[in-house]
Amino acid sequence: TPKCALSSADADGPGSICAAPGRAPAPDPAYGSPSAAEPAEPPAGRRRGLGAWARKWVRGDEAYEVPAEPEAVPAACAAPDPDDPAALLLAALGPTERLWSRGPGHPGVLDLGLGAGSRVDLRAVGSLGLAGPRARLAGVARSVVAQLAALHAPGQLEIVLVCTDRARPLAERRRDWGWLGWLPHVRPAHGQDCRLLLAYDRDQAAARTGELTRRLDDGPLGTHWAAADPEGVQQAARVYRGPYTLLVLDGDPGAGPLRDVTGRLASHGPAGGIHVIALADAPAATPASPVADTYEAACAGTPAFRDCGAVALLSGDVATAVRTFAVTGGRPVPCGDTATADAVSAAWAERFARALAPLRADGGPAEPYRPAAAALPATARLLDELGLARATPASLMARWAEATDQGQGTGGLAEIVLGSGRRGAVGAELVHDGPHLLIEGPAGSGRTELLRSVAASLSAAARPDRLGLVLLDGAGGERGDGLLPCTELPHASAHLVASDPLRMREFAQALGAELKRRHELLDGVAFAEWHARRELGDRMVSPRRPTPGEQRGDIEPQRTGTLRLRASALRTEAAGPSPLPRLVVLVDDFDALVAPGLGSTGRPAAGSVVRALEAVAREGARLGVHLVATTARPDRTAETGLARLTTLRVELDAPDQPGPGRAVLRYADGRTVPFQAGRVTGRIPRTATLRPTVVPVEWERMGDPPARRPVRELGNGPTDLALLASALDRASHLVSATPVLFPPAP
């Protein structure tokens, strides 16, 4: 009948939309449905049936045809509830403008209907508990989730399922929720390590809840969100504006830690836009099972049920009615009338979900940013974090051009990418965040590899004529190659191994002379200001290219207007590096220079090198010279100028699982960002020769991490650093970038 086609409510039930003929509920103004009181005149000609009329209503057409026999359509059904299951299915089959219509700022966001006349606002109650006999409860739960999926776009609402109750067989749980896997709302789009946001076992549940708790850690309450008071949670929830996460918790998650974390998510999750719908198998609320008994049975079956701000209990002899309660002081308090519950079958839900499966949101209003929730990877490849998985001269020249535009007026920037974090690449910029960087970590933590990555990342960010690298191995080559692989980079101007006292003294003198030269050239002006003035002068008067005689200095240059250039200035403006490029000194094992061992061959000259490095730490910010050093013994370097003046630090963890390179970046303002250091000396991955394989994946395994192709390194192939160095060398030749000399030529 038409009544059944447009509403699942009983015509005689309380609050039914078909309770009285001729009385239609007020439609949602956001849907713009035509008024039932003023039906459009049917056009002449062929008339269509009820199905065509319903689809036209769902599409929201201003003018629509009415059926041939108007008396066949009850007046109360002229504008059905937009949350009605039939209307939702028609909207999904459309698609129409009614689909995913509740975007950011809509007053009905996360507002759902449990039945005719019974509505719940998840933003107001925080989390909702649903309890009743399993057969009826499953249908109501499907209806509720389908409402939210139909009215909210995947970018506005993601749906996470945790269904790990071992009291129910896996086949039964899969039968109840298999349709959910078709929805685009369960696809991981924010860094989650899974195929779909589903959890059918304990490991998957731990992964899904861990992703949500990490998101709360980054929220307004920080890492103390689990201990926040209810008022603070409510205040944070009121100011939160999306996007949102719906966590469907079906039954007891099992393990004690999972019970605790799901309970905290139900009570504190709204502060970060996470709302829980907890389902509990319990007897219907009847005179034989009062509300208090049904509520306690639900809390025993699903521990998170007690932490929900509102609960809806199925009642009646056949559990077809629903009653809504607000939870106050641990007791359910009635807050609404009894209504006939909306429920849908598994077949209806699968048809609905399959209709949404191929859809994508069109380019509407910009969706709010959702922070990624991925855990730190066990390993990271630096070239991937740099966006240079295929390092080519063209890609490097594009990066250099962009860096030149961004660094105009400052003498260039010194950007560093350190590795992979939870939200993507993690790094710093030495000019604004530095000017120096100190890397601390025990033996085996990956200090040297991280310093190599710093050298590679600096080289990829600037041309070799605008940034030079000076490499220093403080341990004297006692710990392997050290920074020797970085000498292949065209930016590397010099490399010193602290084992020869004579070369060490020459290095200290050359570094001191470079600081003195820069001091004289700048003449009391800051490095960035000097370059800004120089660039302004170049724009005002473009210098002509000197003749060969003028370059040699034996021909007096010609006058150009009122500007008379000296031959020495013209020689400077000739092809070649800038007279003041940025210089970065990278020191491995700085503690070995500060306190060399008794048997160290570089011990006699270590003091002179340390004094030169201390001068860089004091004056480098003004002169455009930066210092990046590693130390395994922070106690030995704590009294140095570098340790006292450096506010940008990296602290590496002890060499433990999952492996070396786990670190924390600390900024000057107190922010801390954990990351996995990017590796740059690994061999090129050997994946091109692997054959593709196709395997079936069941719904219950969609919550596992995706099966990744095994990455094998070529045993005799080039390293990523060598690959990058080759591309950098070719790119520098294409842009005619002459590398920086150290010591500079007279």
Q: Which residues pair with 471 in a beta bridge?
A: 495, 586
**Cα(246)–Cα(248) distance, rounded to whole angstroms?**
6
pLDDT for the residue numbered 208:
93
pLDDT for the residue numbered 542:
47
pLDDT tens digit sequence for 314-336: 998 899 999 999 998 888 998 87
Residue 105 has pLDDT above 70, yes or no: yes
79 alpha-carbon distance from chain centroid? 42
Non-local (6+) Cβ contacts of 389 within 8 A are 381, 383
Residue 6 has pLDDT above 70, yes or no: no
pLDDT for the residue numbered 227:
74
Q: What is the mean pLDDT of residues 20-41?
A: 37
Could you tell me which residue, 718 or 267, shows the higher pLDDT?
A: 267
Non-local (6+) Cβ contacts of 272 within 8 A are 212, 215, 216, 219, 220, 221, 225, 236, 240
pLDDT for the residue numbered 729:
92
Could you tell me which residue, 284 or 105, shows the higher pLDDT?
A: 284
Select from 207, 226, 303, 310 the least CA-distant residue to 271: 226
**Cα(399)–Cα(461) distance, rounded to whole angstroms?**
6
Let me know: does 88 contact 146? Beta carbons within 8 Å: yes
331-334 and 712-713: which strand pairing?
unpaired
Complete DSSP assignment for 69-134: -GGGS-GGGSS--TT-HHHHHHHHHTT-TTTT---TT-TTTTEEEEETTEEEEHHHHS-EEEEE-H
Q: What is the mean pLDDT of residues 512-516?
A: 91
**Cα(38)–Cα(668) distance, rounded to whole angstroms?**
67
724 alpha-carbon distance from chain centroid? 27
Let me know: does 678 contact 385? Beta carbons within 8 Å: yes
**Cα(30)–Cα(33) distance, rounded to whole angstroms?**
8
pLDDT for the residue numbered 422:
79
pLDDT for the residue numbered 630:
93
**Cα(204)–Cα(173) distance, rounded to whole angstroms?**
15
pLDDT for the residue numbered 687:
53
Lowest mean pLDDT among 45-59, 154-168, 298-312, 621-635: 45-59
Please state at what angle helix 501-522 crosses helix 603-623, rounded to 10 degrees: 20
Element (H, E) at 292: helix 291-301
Token representation of residue 49: 């049936």
Non-local (6+) Cβ contacts of 363 within 8 A are none
Q: What are the helix and strand counts (H, E) for the chain?
A: 24, 24
707 alpha-carbon distance from chain centroid? 21
pLDDT for the residue numbered 716:
62
Let me know: does 313 contact 291? Beta carbons within 8 Å: yes
Let me know: does 142 contact 114? Beta carbons within 8 Å: no
Residue 43 has pLDDT above 60, yes or no: no
Q: Give me the sign of the Cα torsion angle 403, 407, 412, 414.
A: negative
Let me know: does 63 contact 40? Beta carbons within 8 Å: yes
Residue 680 has pLDDT above 50, yes or no: yes
DSSP-assigned letter for residue 345:
-
Could you tell me which residue, 552 or 254, shows the higher pLDDT?
A: 254
Q: pLDDT band at residue 2, thresholds of 50, 70 and 90?
A: very low
pLDDT for the residue numbered 548:
54
Tell me the range of 49-53, 347-351, 372-376, 499-503 where mean pLDDT is highest: 347-351
Could you tell me which residue, 7 or 672, shows the higher pLDDT?
A: 672
Q: Is the peptide bond before 27 cis (omega within 30 degrees of 0)?
A: no
Q: Which residues pair with 428 in a beta bridge?
A: 416
Percent of the chain with pLDDT over 90: 38
Let me know: does 427 contact 648? Beta carbons within 8 Å: no
**Cα(61)–Cα(563) distance, rounded to whole angstroms?**
73
**Cα(58)–Cα(261) distance, rounded to whole angstroms?**
41
Token representation of residue 149: 């999926």
Residue 225 has pLDDT above 70, yes or no: yes
Q: Which residues pair with 672 in a beta bridge?
A: 666
pLDDT tens digit sequence for 437-463: 999 999 888 899 999 999 999 999 988
Coil, strand or helix at 531: helix
pLDDT tens digit sequence for 540-560: 544 555 555 544 444 444 433
pLDDT tens digit sequence for 189-223: 777 888 999 999 999 999 999 989 888 887 777 77
| CA-based radius of gyration for the chain | 34
Q: pLDDT band at residue 377, thresholds of 50, 70 and 90?
A: confident
pLDDT for the residue numbered 4:
35
- pTM as predicted: 0.63
Please state at what angle helix 346-356 crosses helix 134-151, rounded to 10 degrees: 20
Let me know: does 453 contact 418? Beta carbons within 8 Å: yes
Residue-averaged pLDDT of the chain: 79
Q: pLDDT band at residue 345, thresholds of 50, 70 and 90?
A: very high
**Cα(446)–Cα(673) distance, rounded to whole angstroms?**
17
Could you tell me which residue, 261 or 32, shows the higher pLDDT?
A: 261
Lowest mean pLDDT among 26-40, 73-87, 405-419, 596-610: 26-40
pLDDT for the residue numbered 556:
45
**Cα(422)–Cα(373) distance, rounded to whole angstroms?**
6
pLDDT for the residue numbered 370:
52
Select from 18, 28, 38, 37 the least CA-distant residue to 58: 28
Select from 454, 366, 425, 365 the least CA-distant residue to 681: 454
